[in-house]
Amino acid sequence: MDTIGVVVNPIAGMGGRVGLKGTDGKVAEARQRGATTRAPERARQALEVLARETDGLTVYTAAGPMGEDAARDAGFDPAVGYDPWAELAEGPPEDPGEAETTAADTQAAVREFLEREVDLVLFVGGDGTAVDVAEVLEDGDGETPMLGVPAGVKIYSSVFAVTPRDAGRIAAGFDAVEPREVNDIDEDAYREGEVRSELRAVVPVPVAPDVQSGKQVSGGSVDSLAAGFAREIEDGRTYVFGPGGTVGAIEAELGIDASPLGVDVWRDGDVLATDATETEILDVLAEPATIVVSPIGGQGFVFGRGNHQLSPAVIRRADEIAVVAADEKLDGIDSLRVDTDDDAVDEELRGWMKVRTGRFTTRLVKVV
């Protein structure tokens, strides 16, 4: 590979830790809730690996927080082809969280990459950004591959590397591509607890073991699992229930009116927080504490996809992590995965983890 186009959605994922389950149309509210950016740092992580593992690579990108800043921080001297702030005397904002970029800006940058005939488009964002990139590529020659650095709240598409550093390694050394799906969901429906996923494109993506699978919805009953977990609830222990149907079944067994795609905190029969942000969780979290999560079907993520409220700070405060999943879900997962934005926490979580699969049954699954 000789050339690459890099585009960053600076505000991708800002809504995660503050409980917004996405950032589409919610940037102002995310800022009011104290959200901070995560995409620029994850872009830098990917590009540092890319810089280390390539020599003489030409990087095309967009101005400021849309890619230029991360590329320079990683050691590249990028060629800037698109600048949404070109007519502003002050130029791009210093704080990437203040960048008012749009889907049109992302697509303009990708069109510039196609004119440069890049070998790969590396984008940083979530499913919405993936759709924006894919639409331009499909309208172009349809042959230029794309690869995502996961930074959004919703990661349903199978075009993302597992971690930012994986993205850098894959971009540096792939030999073949294969068609993969770009999916997106209705964020408003998602915030109300309903998942409406739609196939938006099929695009070429580098072939590599560290490109994640698309999200699958598991079937089958989890009633026995929920009943078994509820029987073992400890008095005085705080339970932090992550999103998803499996965990929701446990909450229903306990009589909790769960937020299906949010995080709830409960202790001794009392709901302490519903659809909670990271800050709200930390405000009521008392030890001993258990975080209850279920892996995403087909992908295996237990942290870092759709549950950013369960941040490194929250994970550190808990003395127990309970992973729950019916056998049929685990049968479609080769391993569990974590991507918390904190390398030390990720490393602590790796290894063999016990997963509750029924009223009395468990399985050991490796976190990689």
Instruction: Flag whether 170 is in a domain.
Output: yes
Q: Is the pTM of this model over 0.85?
A: no
Q: What is the pLDDT of residue 25?
A: 55
Strand extents, DSSP E, the chain? 3-8, 58-62, 79-82, 121-125, 146-150, 177-185, 197-206, 238-241, 264-267, 270-273, 289-293, 301-303, 320-324, 337-338, 351-356, 362-367
Polymer length in residues for the chain: 368
Tell me the pLDDT of the chain averaged across its residues: 87
Q: What is the pLDDT of residue 214?
A: 64
Q: What is the pLDDT of residue 224?
A: 81
DSSP letter, residue 307: -
CATH of the domain at 317: 3.40.50
Cα 267 to Cα 251, 254, 264, 280, 288, distances in angstroms: 12, 11, 10, 15, 10
Amino acid sitting at position 236: G
Q: What is the pLDDT of residue 363?
A: 85
Among the residue ranges 28-32, 75-79, 97-101, 253-257, the one predicted with the least confidence is 28-32
Please write the tens of the pLDDT for every residue from 170-182. Answer: 999 999 999 988 8
Q: In what order do the strands lie in the sheet with 146-150?
A: 79-82, 58-62, 3-8, 121-125, 146-150
Q: What is the pLDDT of residue 57?
A: 96
Of 206, 241, 268, the residue at which a domain comes to its end is 206
One domain for residues 165 and 18? yes
Helix 127-139, helix 103-115: angle, nearest 10: 40
* pLDDT: which is higher, 185 or 75: 75
Instruction: Flag whether 81 is in a domain.
Output: yes
Q: What is the pLDDT of residue 218?
A: 41
74: three-class secondary structure by DSSP: coil
Q: Provide the phi-psi class of 239: left if phi over 0, else alpha when psi is between -120 and 50, else beta.
A: beta
One domain for residues 47 and 82? yes
Any residues with CB less than 8 A from the CB of 346 and at least 6 apart, and which?
338, 339, 340
Please write the tens of the pLDDT for every residue from 271-299. Answer: 999 999 999 999 999 999 999 999 988 88
Question: Distance (Å, rounded) from C-alpha 274 to C-alpha 14?
Answer: 20
Residue 267 predicted with pLDDT over 50: yes
Among the residue ranges 9-13, 16-20, 138-142, 148-152, the one predicted with the least confidence is 16-20
Q: What is the pLDDT of residue 219?
A: 39
Please write the tens of the pLDDT for every residue from 317-363. Answer: 999 999 999 888 888 888 999 999 999 999 999 998 989 988 777 88
Q: What is the pLDDT of residue 192?
A: 56
Please write the tens of the pLDDT for every residue from 3-17. Answer: 999 999 988 866 555
Tokens representing residue 322 in the block: 């309970």
* pLDDT: which is higher, 25 or 114: 114
Of 206, 236, 256, the residue at which a domain comes to its end is 206
With cut-offs at 50, 70 and 90, classify the pLDDT of residue 210: confident
One domain for residues 238 and 316? yes
Question: Distance (Å, rounded) from C-alpha 154 to C-alpha 304?
Answer: 10
Domain, as residue range, for 269: 223-367
One domain for residues 183 and 283? no
One domain for residues 227 and 304? yes
pLDDT average, residue stretch 112-136? 95
Pairing outcome for strands 270-273 and 301-303? unpaired
Residue 162 predicted with pLDDT over 70: yes
Backbone angles phi, psi at 108, to 5 degrees: -65, -40
Domain count, the chain: 2
The C-alpha R_g of the chain, in whole angstroms, comes to 21
Burial of 220 (0-12, 13-18, 19+ CB in 10 A): exposed
> If we measure between CA atoms, which residue out of 133, 165, 8, 152 comes closest to residue 80?
8
Q: What is the pLDDT of residue 93?
A: 72
CATH of the domain at 66: 3.40.50.10330
Question: Distance (Å, rounded) from C-alpha 6 to C-alpha 114?
Answer: 12
Strand extents, DSSP E, 207-274? 238-241, 264-267, 270-273
